[in-house]
Amino acid sequence: MKHLTIILITLLSCTFINAQVEIKPGIKAGMNIAGLSNLEENGGIRSEKITTFHIGATLSFKFARFYTLQPEVIYSKQGSEYKNFGFDGTQSIELNYLSIPVNNKFYISNSGLNFQVAPVIDILLSHKNVNNPQKVDIAIAGAIGYDIGNGLVMSIGYKQGITDLLGRNVDTGNGYETTDVSDLILNNVIQLSVGYQFKL
């Protein structure tokens, strides 16, 4: 059994060495078109999306011709504008996040075209015009990307938060949770990004 274990460890080590994982650090930045769902159901007259930005660093691990794992650390400005009863003019909710997506990039054939899906943890850094928002938002993101060449990359994607901004739960009919799903205030953002990846 001991010899079998040694053989398995040796084979696994050789596999990882021969895999020749290509590692590329990078930077990315772009435009956010951000909003918050269901503000109307929570007292707002009309909500509107806001145009902001995101910027950060990436680190890609190319394990195969068709698959790359790319964790990122991104500063992302999000929120919404809305008009509320009893207020004149437009109110603005500002939410500034440290966003940590773990992108799974799947490439089509030998082209630079790729499809991306990522779980995301958004950590709230600061906020304005909202009381006691949740410090952490869990989200799911998807994107279509293209590797232009010479290190340049671009993508268009959508990120949907799944945690209520105010920390409320969905009504399950058990008498303990009282919020209807249509009342949950959720982050959503369209992201247009360009980036550059460095060769090590």
| Structural domain includes residue 2 | no
The total number of residues written for the chain in this structure: 200
pLDDT band at 70 (very low <50, low <70, confident <90, very high): very high
Token pair for residue 106?
Answer: 């799947």
- CATH number, domain of 67, equals 2.40.160.20
| Structural domain includes residue 184 | yes
| Structural domain includes residue 12 | no
| Structural domain includes residue 53 | yes
Residue 45 contacts residue 85 (beta carbons within 8 Å): yes
Residue 26 contacts residue 153 (beta carbons within 8 Å): yes
User: How confident is the model at residue 2, as a pLDDT?
Assistant: 59
Angle (nearest 5°) at CA 46 between 121 and 95: 25
Closest-CA residue to 196 (of 23, 24, 20, 22): 24
| Structural domain includes residue 99 | yes
User: How confident is the model at residue 194, as a pLDDT?
Assistant: 99
| Structural domain includes residue 100 | yes
Closest-CA residue to 19 (of 60, 62, 55, 58): 62
What is the tens place of the pLDDT at every residue in 96-150?
999 999 999 999 988 899 999 999 999 999 999 888 899 999 999 999 999 999 9
Token pair for residue 153?
Answer: 């990359």
Using CA atoms, how far apart are residues 38 and 142, in angstroms rounded to an integer?
A: 22
Does the pLDDT at position 12 exceed 70? no
What is the tens place of the pLDDT at every residue in 44-58?
567 889 999 999 999
Count: domains in the chain: 1
What is the tens place of the pLDDT at every residue in 32-45?
999 998 876 655 56
